[in-house]
Amino acid sequence: MSDSAAPLVSVAMRTYEHEAYVSQAIESVLIQDAPFEFELVIGEDCSADGTREIVEHYAERFPERVRTVLPAANVGHGEILRRVLDAVRGRFVAYLDGDDYWTSTAKLRRQAEYLEAHTECASCFHDASLVYDAAGTPSGVTTPALAEASFALEDILTECFVPSPAMMFRREIVAELPGWAFESAWIDWLIHIRCAERGPLGYIAEPLAAYRVHEGGMFSALDRISQIEEDLRFYEQLRPELPEHDGLIGRCIELRGAQLAIERLGVPFRACVVLVDPRREMKPYFNGRHARNLPRRDGREVTELETIRRFAADLAPAQPDYHGDTETAGEGGCFVAVPAGAREWLRARDGLCEYLEREAVKVWDDAAASVYELPLHADGAGVAKRPTRRVEIVREERLPEELVGANLEAPAAGAALPAHAVTTIGWVLGRDEPVEAVELWVGEERLWRAPVDQSRPDIERGFPDREVGTPGFRTTVNAQQLPPGTRAEAVAVLPGERRVRFAELRFDDGSGA
């Protein structure tokens, strides 16, 4: 392909630390059987392994097909993609991460033909095979495996169901992305939304790519709580840009709040989670757990829930789709998740309210969602109700001089949490020395200790003139043996086991939540 010949399709590839995978990704592009010109633009973000050398090797071998974006220093996942998209020249853009690959030589041809034939669509996508092992053997599971031929903006707002190696879109969409898009983990999701604002998302119901799930993957490497928190940040940034869809976005935020509650509660994967969704518009997804919607028929909610409860007693353990940061506890159960927007509907159904008051215990209650636990029927006996705790965080009015900043972001104010696993998240930044750990002390007894070892890009942005290192921490605190009213001091541990207090946690009885 000459420099003057503009390709019909540009393939945008972003790669980092993909030495074991990137050759397969590149080869799957180079073997495409297309009756038009196409190019591959690879952004390699200064990997510490041999990824860059592999990329440079292919660029030297195929200079007419492969172009590279090679920054001198690591610029981050968003900026490297921005630079790649700035460099593409094709009328259509296909996307591929360096750890995924395409499984059909007709992939580019099929999608380009689709977009040329369907001028009302700004993008189209297809199915992908999920790959879980290093050998690259497709598992046989295909996603998203849908029956519809196209999808509207409301569909893609609810969830990002398009596999990243399956997308192709018109290049002019790039100019419509806001600046914050390249600071988000969900850039591809925003591309789909922008495309859906122009018209339907086209769909080819064939698996033409492989999506690799591994610990080094950008999305799959995140624990499920972090994924949901990224969703929440994404929606809050998107909300002012789509005021006509504010109601739907608000309900999506509430659903993520219910998902977050289930994760933080450590609901076992043998349990069934029932999502209360009067509109019947949300997918009842809880990280691979058995899940059902309520109601399915108006006026039969109690019967439906009792049927699900009995069905839940015989469930086999499910497998999590993504690892969690909170340990699951218990053998099973039936949990009813009520997003905030469904509370009014619930209050209007006396029979269902009476059933939950008589049969269940509320184990979570915050601004986003409430969760009830129903004991399983087993030989006429129920399971024991798990104790809960409400936690109030009291921060020091003035930080000790040894700290530049500190914050406890969870527990959420007023949440009734499982006493065995009170999720505690925050950050602490030393003034002259790194903080090694955070501890909780009750009187002279140390309750718990967590290392301060989590990367926090938001803190890096908040302190641009300081080397912040890894100031974040995330842990769960076992408060089962703490009586109501217990106060625990949160202290930062500096080198030499020096300790400075920066907050207090007050544990109260949450059983009446």
Mean pLDDT of 122-126: 97
| Distance between CA atoms of residues 256 and 262, nearest Å | 10
pTM: 0.74
39 three-class SS: strand
- The predicted pLDDT at position 383 comes to 43
Helices (H) and strands (E) in the chain — how many of each? 12, 24
Question: What is the per-residue DSSP string for 443-475?
Answer: TTEEEEEEE--B--HHHHHH-TTS---S-EEEE
pLDDT of residue 380: 38
Tell me the Ramachandran region of residue 170: left when phi exceeds 0, alpha when psi lies from -120 to 50, beta otherwise: beta
Tell me the per-residue pLDDT of 141-153, one tens digit each, with 9 for 90 and over: 788 888 888 999 9
pLDDT 10s digits, 462-472: 999 999 999 99
What DSSP character marks residue 482? P
- In three-state secondary structure terms, 2 is coil
Per-residue pLDDT, 322:
78
Question: Which residue in this structure is represented by tokens 């992908």?
Answer: 128
> Among residues of the chain, what percentage have pLDDT more than 70?
91
Residue 134 has pLDDT above 90, yes or no: no
pLDDT tens, position by position, 178-235: 989 998 889 999 999 999 999 999 999 999 999 887 655 555 567 889 999 999 999 9
| DSSP collapsed to 3 states, 278-337 | CCCCCCCCCCCCEEEEECCCCCCHHHHHHHHHHHHCCCCCCCCCCCCCCCCCCCCCEEEE
HSE-up (13 A, CA, CB side) for residue 361: 17
pLDDT tens for residues 375-398?
887 543 344 455 677 888 888 889
* 448: alpha, beta or left? (left if phi > 0; alpha if psi -120 to 50): beta
Whether the Cβ atoms of residue 477 and residue 457 lie closer than 8 Å to each other: no
Q: Which pair of structure tokens corresponds to residue 506? A: 């007050």
The Cα 420–Cα 389 span in angstroms is 9
Mean pLDDT of 264-269: 91
Whether the predicted pLDDT of 236 surpasses 90: yes
Residue 1 has pLDDT above 70, yes or no: no
Q: Are strands 445-451 and 437-442 parallel, antiparallel or unpaired?
A: antiparallel
Question: Counting every residue, how long is the chain?
Answer: 513
Residue pLDDT, tens place only, 21-79: 999 999 999 999 999 999 999 999 999 999 999 999 999 999 999 999 999 999 999 99
312-364: pLDDT as tens digits: 988 888 888 877 656 565 667 899 999 999 999 999 999 999 999 999 999 99
Three-state DSSP at 412 gives coil
Residue 480: pLDDT band with limits 50, 70, 90: confident
- Average pLDDT (364-369) is 92
Q: What is the pLDDT of residue 249?
A: 96
Say yes or no to pLDDT of 513 above 60: no
| 3-class SS of residue 150 | strand
Contact at 8 Å (CB) between 150 and 200?
A: yes
**Model confidence at 308, in pLDDT bands (50, 70, 90)?**
very high
Q: Where does the pLDDT of residue 419 fall: very low under 50, low under 70, confident under 90, or very high at 90 and above?
A: confident
On the 0-12 / 13-18 / 19+ scale of CB atoms within 10 A, 80 is buried
In 3-state terms, the chain is what percent helix, strand and coil (to 5)? 30, 30, 40
Range in 117-121, 171-175, 184-188 with the lowest mean pLDDT:
184-188
pLDDT of residue 491 exceeding 80, the answer is: yes
Query: What is the phi/psi pair of residue 438, to 5°?
Result: -120, 135
Which residues lie closer than 8 Å to 513 by C-beta, 6 or more apart? 362, 363, 364, 365, 388, 390, 416
- 272: Cβ–Cβ under 8 A, 6 or more apart, which residues? 289, 290, 291, 292, 308, 311, 312, 315, 332, 333, 334, 335
DSSP calls for 231-297: HHHHHHHHGGG-GGGHHHHHHHHHHHHHHHHHHHHT--TTSEEEEE-TT--S---STTSEEEEE-SS
